[in-house]
Structure 1
Amino acid sequence: MKTLALALCLTLSLFSLTLSAKTLTEAQYIEVFQGEDIQQQKDALASLVMAGMSEPKVYNKIEENLQKSLPLAVDRHSIDYSAWLLKGLAYSGDEKYIATFNAVIAGDYHSKLQKYARKSLKILDQYKVWAPILSNKSLYDDKFSQASNVLANALRSDVLELKLNAAKRVINQNIDSEQINEVLNEELKDTRLLKHEKQSIQAYAYMAKALAITGDEKYKPTIEQLAQDSSEKKLRKYASKYLKKYY
């Protein structure tokens, strides 16, 4: 459980660390990973947290770079690079890379790399669920960017942690998109996952804040409904607070 908690904390921290990370196309990702700029590669790896990137060619290239980096990972900088590649590979959610992580854990590598490989296994397990949701193009709207569509998928999902992180991302990036606002509005009208549990209440509270921040009168009735009728007292208090602050 402690290892899982550490892995989840790592993933959560990456959501905040990559607020400005730009989502790239498949060709752009491959171009970056074929290059020699390590910092550019790290930035690209960080952006995969919520990129909705499912193209195998991208992750195959990451694994190729990882295999090349491992024998050279003997100091702080080289170990850090390999660690980023491990994390990036985990965002694929592809079980075929379990063998890669296990080989690092069992191999003659630095203990820090073995630790990162264990964490990456936990992240991979999480992204087996998240990756198909983020990359599902069935609800994509061509009028909006890839990043917007991925966030919309996350907010529509039935995974509370994913909804929560997407809402935080909307707030922290000051995203005011018609697509995102409409999805938030619909999700808040039907709080189907709301329970008397901390994560559930937090998810809907952050979603309500993300919508209220727009100050758009169109969405005020939705926040008012939460403030008046939500089954959770804490959520009613949050919604009331947002009404006073943003309207």
Structure 2
Amino acid sequence: MNPFHFQSVPPPHPLGPPQFPMLPPDPPNSSLFWQNRNVCEHLRELQDILNLAKAMQKELEMLMMIKDGKVSLEDVKHGSNEPYLPGFLECLQDRRVNIESQESLAVEAANYLMSKLRSQLEPFRYVANEVSPWEEKSAAAKFANKVYKSKRNKRWRKKKRKRIAEMLAKEREEFHCIDREADEWRAREISKDVANCKVEKMKEIAKIKAKEEKRKLEAEVNFLFVQMTGKSLLNCGLC
């Protein structure tokens, strides 16, 4: 017994299931397809379709798990290995859609996506075919060569920017080195000047001290001379 079987309530104005447009099995191929902008847009659409296909695959897997009874309501309440399963079941309950109806819509949407995917891949398959016209292969080869040249030019510009950046960094380093050496030389010269000034001041101070010592010595000599002269005169007078 399926624990997730919901009874759908029909709306006041019932609508039929969504009708997806049918795609031609073999879209026309032309060398005009291999224009740069056209191919980029085509690849972008192809990536979107692949993302939708992955999401649709996940939805179908969850529907199969619910339908086969591999998960129960208790598993969903207490946590499941599928993180999106509780939200998916809540969405079905809010919309009052049963599993069979949702599965039918999902299968129809998946078939449409597969048809769309085949249509998007057809130009590439057409070129890979051995019996395809040489004009088509030539256009694809020109596009591939253009892409290769574009990537090569990007790599070359990247290397050039890197080389220029390295040269500028080297020049800045050399400039900083020269500037640092100049600062060191300037500091040494200033230190020499300061040392020379100190030496000159010390010499001047030494000269001043020498002069003062000389004056003191002369004063003492004169004083002694005066004393000795006075004593001599005194002795002569006594005689």
TM-score by length of 1: 0.23
Which structure has the larger Rg? 2
Higher RCO structure (Cα 8 Å, ≥6 apart): 2
TM-score by length of 2: 0.24
